[in-house]
Amino acid sequence: MARRTNGRVLAVDPAGGRRSFHAAILTYRDRGRELELVGHVLLPLLALARRRIESDMALSFLDDREVSGKLGAYEPYRVPGTAELALPVARADLSELGEAEMDQIRYWRPETVGELVFNFWD
């Protein structure tokens, strides 16, 4: 994916501890920036975020049409945009979640769908 978008992989950080996602740091020399590609460990979901420093416990999601368009070609993966990831949990349909998952939501209190799906407490 990095090659397809003229990027380069700087690092890969597999999910560990209690984090619910794998991460890869991609750099784009022509754009002068780095971003973080995150993939959920169980769900076929990918997202783009600003590169975080190691101690950050939150992701700042972003839209990049070029990169997201390439990611969307990798079925069965889906790339939700920032509007979907920023949706307040209170407005999200959680009807398919089990009681154990709802207990985690009540305990950790994520504010957005992005915080709920790509979390540091799973």
Question: Which three-class secondary structure string do you get for 33-53?
Answer: EEEEEEEECCCCEEEEEECCC
- Give the pLDDT mean for 48-54: 86
Q: Write down the domain spans for the chain.
A: 3-117
Separation of alpha carbons 100 and 53, rounded Å:
30
User: Model-level pTM?
Assistant: 0.87
- Give the pLDDT mean for 52-79: 82
User: What single DSSP character describes residue 82?
Assistant: H
| Structure confidence by residue, pLDDT tens digits, 95-113 | 999 999 999 999 999 999 9
Q: Mean pLDDT: which of 5-9, 13-17, 35-39, 70-74 is highest?
A: 35-39
Per DSSP, the three-state class of 4 is helix
Phi, psi for 39 (deg, rounded to 5): -130, 130
